[in-house]
Amino acid sequence: SKNKEVTVTFVKANGERIKAKGEIGNSILDIVVNNDLELDGYGACEGTLTCSTCHLIFSKDVFDKLPDKPTEEEIDMLDLAQERGPTSRLGCQIIMTEELDGIEIRVPATINDARQA
């Protein structure tokens, strides 16, 4: 059976808003890939925690609802992301829950591939 559908809205640095559908259990990276969204360079390492290109910035409200705390590996990668803030996370590590349905997510202007650093 199909998982329940959820919607997220990506807000790009230029103000463009991209609404996309996914399912509970998808990562945010899955949603970007499955919808073939135009986020240049996003998710370069395919979720293997070696690139930081999937960096996203959440509102404090949403950040507090994210289901899992970041692992050491995620924090190490976040340290390499541009524009990193206190509510930054890596999209490949965020798994959609029912509570996250309808959230807005800010995509930083600079996507930094740590593998090229």
Residues that bind ligand FES (CB under 6 A): 29, 43-45, 47, 49-54, 77, 90, 92
CB of 74 to ligand FES, least distance (A): 8
Task: Give whichever of 47 and 70 is closer to ligand FES, judged by the CB atom.
Answer: 47
Residue with nearest beta carbon to ligand FES: 92
- What is the nearest approach in angstroms of ligand FES to the Cβ of residue 49? 5
**Cβ of residue 44: shortest distance to ligand FES, in angstroms?**
6
Q: Which of 40, 92, 51, 99 is nearest to 70 (CA)?
A: 92
